[in-house]
Structures are given as structure tokens and as C-alpha cells.
Chains A and B, each alone.
Chain A
Amino acid sequence: MDKRRYILLVDMNAFFASIEQRCNPALRGKPVLVGGSTSKRSVVAAASYEARPFGIHSGMSMTEALLLCPNAVLVEGNSSKYADTARRVFQICKDYTDQMEIYSIDECFMDVTNTQNIFGGAWEIAKAVKRRIRTDMGLTCSVGIGPNKMLAKLASGMMKPDGLVEIKPEEITGLLEKMPVEKLHGIGDKTRIRLAKMGITTAGSLGRVPVETLQRRFGVLGDILHKMGNGIDCSAVVPWHAEPDVKSVGHSYTLDRNTRDWDVIHHHLLRLSEMVGRRLRSQGYAGKTITLVSRYEDMHTFTRQRSIAEYLDDGYAIYQVAASILHKHDAGGHKIRLVGVSVSNLVKGICQPELLAGHRYRDLLKTLDGINDKYGEFTVKRASLMDVKLRPKTHGFERKKIIQLVTTA
């Protein structure tokens, strides 16, 4: 019997930047930098392939990146858009195996050992996944195929973007011989330097060091390093359905600047609550314990929860409880840096509609969810969440500006 394992790693290329380029044709072919916000306080979450020759990589500060490439276009990240796209990518992968592990928002492992025969082999599966992601979503990915997770990951990094590389068992020794150790997933800068001091710079030479020597130097890690050097990785692909049940749903957000402006704080609290409500409803959950987190400019973090009579899944109702907790416990004085809302104590498939609002409010939520599922998060939203930035309580001639903004928006 063929005991050989077939593991795929699907790695989306410049994921966030590619999504932005796909959504906005004006960004295509240009160096695009996606950050938490378009302010220079932010860091690069993703850089498009056009920006990479300038030496820009994710994690770099926006200020630094703009020095390297002054013409780069800054785009504010939209995590719900990325999560939604990722969900659809993972859905495609699930069509070829039930052993699919979500490794990060833009990477997943697929163990196709038991299904590759049905689809004509691992290579054919990889081609099909790549084709569907390109035609359905207009995105490219690099796929690595290997006999274990480590080698699949290594293979996926060998050709970018839009690559497809397979490492076969008989190729392992030759391939690792000249492979720099830092290319192996899990070996960072610190380990690389310590290995270099021992005269080890390639995976091949790492594999030849006796395991005892490595254990003496690195403790428990020594065993893993020895296996890595020999291309061995026995870890299993942990499928999504083996993951534990949802215990709570929450979101938090660091404000653009520290503030005591309650309009701004409430705006974000409502936005986060609506996001929590959406996620609860999409999974059929409702919860009766609401937790509020507020972090102040002195980094002091306040967390308080309240359990209420009924299970909630409506963002506005969640917001009302969260806002009430914040106002009851906010001592005043310090500016707020971060707010967060989460809902726990969950039940599935249960909903107690409000008496005064009636079941028509539930129908409305359902319709809005349908629209936002189809056209993206916050396509339809509360007017108070509109991004039009107006000066509050404007009178007289300023009204003209408001009307202009509203009519051109």
C-alpha cells in the first residue's frame, strides 16, 4: 500500500493588496500598500508585487515604505472584505478534501492523501484550485505540494507569484543540501544566527549534525531542528471541523487617535457591535453576556461584562448594553485608545424577537444580511455609521456644505 502523504499548501499572493487591485481597476499595475489606516501611524499589512522591488515588505512602517517608494498608493485595509474572500478560497479547497487546515487568513493546508486518486492526483487538484481561484475571484496563489506540511510550505515559497511546485520524496535530499536554513519554516533570525555560529548554514548540513548535539544546544527544539534538516515532519493537518465550538464572538478597534469625543467612541462601538451581530447571525448564534473592553491612553485596560435577560444577536441591542457598561464605569479623565465588544454565553438556533418591534424587525435584519452577504459588509448600514465626516452640530452656512456632501456622496 502506498503510505506516501500528499500535502498541499495554498498561499494567496499579496492577498490584501491583490483584493484591493481586483476591486479597484485604478490600482492595478501600481505599487499598492495596505495598512490599518491611511495614516502614517500605521504599518504595511500587505504590499502588491509592484511595490516589492522597492524593498517594501509587510510589517514595515508606512513612513519607511513611503521613503522607499513615494509613488505608492495607500489603501485602508478592510478586514471583513479579506475575511469574506478568504472564506470563499477555503470553500473551494474544501471541495477536494475534508482535511483542510486554515493556517492563516491567506494560507491553508490540504491533506489530499485519501482523495487525490478521485481527482487525478495531487498535481491536478493544485491546478484545479489555482484555476478556480483565478476565474472565480481574479486572484493568484502559489501552491506547494510535498510529503509533509514543512515541505509543502517550502515548495510554495519556491515560486512566487502564481507558482506550483512539487517536492517528491526522492528529491528531498538533493534539494535540502544547498537550501539555506532560514528558508525552513520555523527558523527565524535568532536560530539562524546561533546555527551559523556552529557553522551550519544549509538544511543539508543541519540534517547531518547528530541529534544529541542539537538537543544539548537547543533543548526540545533540537529534535525538531534535526528532523527539519532531514525533511521530516509528522504533524497532521488539523481540519476546520475538528476545531472547538465557538465560545464567544467579539471585535475590538484601536481608535485613530486617543479621544474623549463620545461621538467618535460611540460610532466605533456601534460599528463593532454591528459586526459582532452580523457574525452571530451568520452562524445562527445568540448570546446573553456582553463584555466591554476599553483601553485608555495610559494603557490601563478595563473589562466588564453584563448578563441580560435575553439572548441577543442584534448589533444595535448589543451596542446599547455595551454603551451602558462603558458609561457606568468610565471614571472620566483619561482619553480612550481602544474599544472592544464581545458576546458570550451562546446558544444556537434560538431567537426571542422584541415585542414592540415585532417580527418585522427580524425580517428587516434578514433582508439587510442578505444584501450585505451579496455586496459586502456595511453596504447597507445605519446612517450613524456613514463615513461622511461632518463637524457636529453645524448651523447656518455650514449647512450648505452638508447638503453638498450628502448629494455628492
Chain B
Amino acid sequence: MAQFVLKRLLMLVPVVLGVSVIVFGLLYLTPGDPALLMLGEHAPQEQYLALREKLGLDLPVHIQYLRWLGRALQLDLGDSIRSSRPVTEEIATRLPATAELAVLAVLVATLIGIPAGVISATRPNSWLDNILTVLALAGVSMPVFWQGLMLIIIFSVYLGWLPPSGRLGGWEYFVLPVITLGTSAAASITRMTRATMLEAIHEDYVRTARAKGLNERRVIYRHALRNALLPVVTIIGLQFGNLMAGAVITETIFAWPGIGRLAVDAIRTRDYPVVQGVVMTFAVSYVLINLIVDLLYAYLDPRLRVRYH
């Protein structure tokens, strides 16, 4: 297993380096002077020259990249142009808010998605299955931003039960953002669980378990679900990617002080060091989460471990 982990970790290096090239290169995608782009046309000359100096814009591009990468490896992503605070500090203060939102959303999505998928698959083509299937399809088709606004209209404006925005502490502030962020993940997990369970139920070992006279509950949960869960683990991991994207939108709607909103604010104010920092943070977290999923997958399915030896 240690060898497997090491191999997977080594495979990450070129990917993360590649992402860093893209993140750094984004600023150079547009023709024109990056310093001018960040400060705007009417910036004072001294400020402009200072930024050019700071970004090392007079140096060849590859030297600029290596300097940026060297600093990034020491967790120095430069300073925010708007707040003048270090980008890493800006991200570190906001990351916990995004993390708690994402983890809660995945948790809720898994707790809803897996049982819903199992219920659907064990009663194929029943009215319950049809309703759950349609709901799941609607869940993956619903725009996150619209769903957030509709929840605000219903639960904050009309019913007055829950606060429409902010994160002042109480659990009531979490309800709407977590539902907004978790719905599409729950829907994807339901769809995947249903599909894999339907396959598992027709496998020989399930028939054997039934033939042994085990009760249906045990057959479904101990035999079929255990095997059906493998692909579901991957889907849950992949959901984190959608969740990061969803966080950008959800945090904007609910004025949630996480890094998603930081990204949108930074893009609007052309604060490129912050944009680069947030994108890099998202990419590294996504890659790491996928690594964890892979390892979990290998732990759950020993055949995969063997293949890497």
C-alpha cells in the first residue's frame, strides 16, 4: 500500500506543475500589459512602475514563472492589489468557511443520495423509483444560483424562517447554503447509486446470498450495497469539484465569506494575484481530494492495489 501511495503522490507532481503554468500563464493570455490590466488605465505612474517592478515584468517570462513558482512553493502567492495583504493570508482566513460548507454539503448529499439510490434500485419502475428518478434528474439540471434564490424567496421572504444571507454563527445560517450546494451532489449520488445497485442486485453473489436464506435487508445492505458503493465513492470525490464551482456561486448569493466569494470579488476588481492564488488553491485541493478518493478506492478494492505492485 505504501508503494501505491508513493506512486500516486509522484504522479501528482507534473499535474500540479502543469496547473501552475496555466494559472501563471492566464495573466498573459490577454494582449497588453498585465500591470496596466490590474491597475486600470488611470493608475498613477509610480504605482504602475512599482507593480511592474514587483511582478518582475521586465524579466523574460520563464524567469518570471520560476520566480513566481519558487515563491508559491514557500506559500508566498504575492500580495492582494486591493487590500495589500498577503494572498495566502486572505485565503487562509476564508478557507475554513468554504471547507465547512463543502463538507456539510457532501455529508448531507451522501446521507440523502445513497439511501435514495438504494430505495430506487430495490423497487425498479415503482412509483417511488419514478419520483426519485425525476427528482434526481431535476436536481442535476437545476442551476445552483436559481435554486439559491428560490430558497431565499420561499424560506426567507415568504415564510421568514431562515436568514437570507451571512454567516453569523447559528445553524440557521447554514441551512439554505448547504441545501443549495448539496442538491446537485445528492442528485448525482442518487443516480450513480441506483445504476450500480441495479447491476449489483443481478450478480451471482446476491443470488447466492438470497439462496442461503438471508433476509432481504442483509442481502441488500451487506452484499449488494457494499459492492455497488465502489463507483459511488468516485462520484462523491468528483462531486467535490462541482462543489468548488458551486461554492463560488453559493457564496456569492448568500454573502458567505469563503474563498469562492473571494474569487468572484477578485475577478471583478482585477486583483490577479488573488485570482491566481484561489485558482491554485482550488486545483491543489481538488487534486488532493481525488488522491484520497483513489487511495480509498484501492483500500476498498484490493484488486487495484495489486495492479500497482
Please indicate whether A and B come from the same complex rather than being unrelated chains.
Answer: no
A residues in contact (CB < 8 Å) with B: none
B residues in contact (CB < 8 Å) with A: none
